[in-house]
């Protein structure tokens, strides 16, 4: 695979050169209170000028000043300007950073940027290079962007090879890695594979978290098993596991597909009154989807309740509600399928 190609990491650094180049890139005095954006912009200037000595200095200094690398730190890398030699220069630069947080955070940020550019093999090449510098700095989170990208692309064979690479380098896959696979299997309806992942999670002594349940609810809803999804939600509530917005959305959409409007509204009401932002999301999602389904009478019931609760409606929702209010919509009671 392309990520196994060799790299040369022995380029001498000249302190005087660093100071000269740094000065040319920063004609203004370095601010007393720099920001992460300031560092990101300087990093881009240095990299675009092929001034890797100054980039090295900046990446060290930003951590010393308390600024982690951000998703913009390596945004100067694009598919247009990307070359293997450019990547090797970046790897060489990062490999000479201060050991520990400075180096690891820069490597992780570079890997994340490459995955955003859909360059999974190059990201793995960075991992292999990092392992030769100091394998102890490799963590499971280093691999998260790579496996996330590959599983979202449904390149599961490739993703499994990444897990093999993790094991070879002495890094154990964590729950997040397992959840990436579980989510993809649930999304595609491959229940047998999803069960295998759950067995692995159990055998490794890991506890299901928010994203584990989110994937399982998705899988149940994809199969039309709304009752099973509700059982999972009840278990989350009982165990005090926080829920993602997406978990709620999966259930609302599944109920509406089955024309269970009353049950969907009752579900939303069960989670209302504790978090106004969540109330806005759930009621707004339900009302919006009803409009899309041309269930206008039902949508008016939802929008009316939003108005009574003082919840925010987007411009189009508010306009729709005000145009149709008073037409004579009836309320909806929770007669069945309640969370309880």
pLDDT in tens, 34-75: 899 999 999 999 999 999 999 999 999 999 999 999 989 999
Last residue of a domain, one of 120, 138, 156: 138
Last residue of a domain, one of 115, 138, 161: 138
Mean pLDDT for the chain overall: 88
State the Cα–Cα distance between residues 168 and 116, nearest whole angstrom: 25
Last residue of a domain, one of 138, 160, 195: 138
Report residue 105 as tokens.
């955070």
Is the residue at 10 inside a domain?
A: yes
Is the residue at 65 inside a domain?
A: yes
Is the residue at 210 inside a domain?
A: no
DSSP state for residue 25 in the 8-state scheme: H
Is the residue at 190 inside a domain?
A: no
- Overall number of domains in the chain: 2
In terms of Cα–Cα distance, which of 189, 183, 217 is closest to 201? 183
pLDDT tier for residue 314 given thresholds of 50, 70 and 90: confident
Is the residue at 99 inside a domain?
A: yes
State the residue range of the domain holding 82. Answer: 1-138
Is the residue at 163 inside a domain?
A: no
State the Cα–Cα distance between residues 200 and 60, nearest whole angstrom: 39
In terms of Cα–Cα distance, which of 138, 242, 114, 254 is closest to 186? 254
Answer whether 180's CB lies under 8 Å from 151's CB: yes
Answer whether 129's CB lies under 8 Å from 9's CB: yes
Consecutive H or E run containing 36: helix 36-48
pLDDT in tens, 213-253: 999 999 999 999 999 999 999 999 999 999 999 999 999 99
Is the residue at 243 inside a domain?
A: no
State the Cα–Cα distance between residues 100 and 77, nearest whole angstrom: 24
pLDDT in tens, 80-93: 999 999 999 999 99
Is the residue at 7 inside a domain?
A: yes
pLDDT in tens, 88-125: 999 999 999 999 999 999 999 999 999 999 999 999 99
Report residue 77 as tokens.
């890398």
Task: Give me the pLDDT at residue 29, please.
Answer: 61
């Amino acid at each position: 695979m392309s990520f196994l190609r060799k790299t040369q990491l022995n380029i001498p650094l000249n302190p005087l050169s660093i100071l000269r180049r740094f000065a040319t890139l920063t004609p203004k005095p370095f601010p007393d209170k720099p920001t992460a954006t300031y560092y990101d912009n300087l990093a881009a200037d240095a990299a675009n000028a092929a001034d890797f000595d100054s980039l090295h200095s900046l990446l060290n200094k930003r951590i010393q000043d308390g600024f982690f690398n951000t998703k913009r730190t390596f945004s100067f890398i694009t598919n247009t300007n990307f070359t293997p030699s450019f990547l090797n220069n970046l790897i060489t630069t990062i490999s000479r950073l201060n050991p520990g947080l400075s180096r690891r955070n820069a490597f992780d940020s570079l890997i994340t940027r490459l995955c955003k550019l859909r360059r999974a093999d190059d990201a793995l090449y960075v991992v292999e290079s990092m392992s030769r510098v100091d394998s102890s700095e490799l963590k499971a989170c280093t691999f998260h962007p790579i496996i996330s990208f590959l599983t979202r692309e449904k390149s599961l064979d490739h993703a499994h090879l990444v897990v093999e690479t993790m094991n070879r380098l002495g890094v154990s896959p964590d729950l997040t890695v397992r959840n990436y696979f579980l989510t993809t299997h649930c999304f595609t309806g491959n229940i047998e594979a999803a069960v295998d992942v759950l067995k692995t999670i159990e055998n490794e002594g890991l506890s299901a978290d928010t994203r584990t349940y989110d994937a399982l609810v998705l899988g149940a809803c994809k199969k039309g098993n709304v009752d099973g999804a509700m059982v999972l939600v009840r278990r989350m509530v009982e165990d005090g596991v926080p829920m993602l917005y997406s978990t709620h959305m999966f259930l609302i959409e599944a109920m509406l597909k089955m024309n269970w409007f009353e049950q969907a509204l009752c579900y939303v009401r069960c989670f209302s009154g504790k978090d106004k932002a969540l109330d806005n999301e759930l009621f707004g999602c339900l009302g919006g989807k009803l409009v899309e389904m041309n269930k206008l009478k039902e949508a008016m019931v939802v929008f009316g309740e939003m108005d009574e609760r003082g919840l925010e409606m987007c411009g189009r929702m508010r306009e729709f509600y005000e145009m149709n209010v008073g037409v004579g919509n009836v309320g909806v009671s929770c007669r069945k399928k309640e969370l309880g």
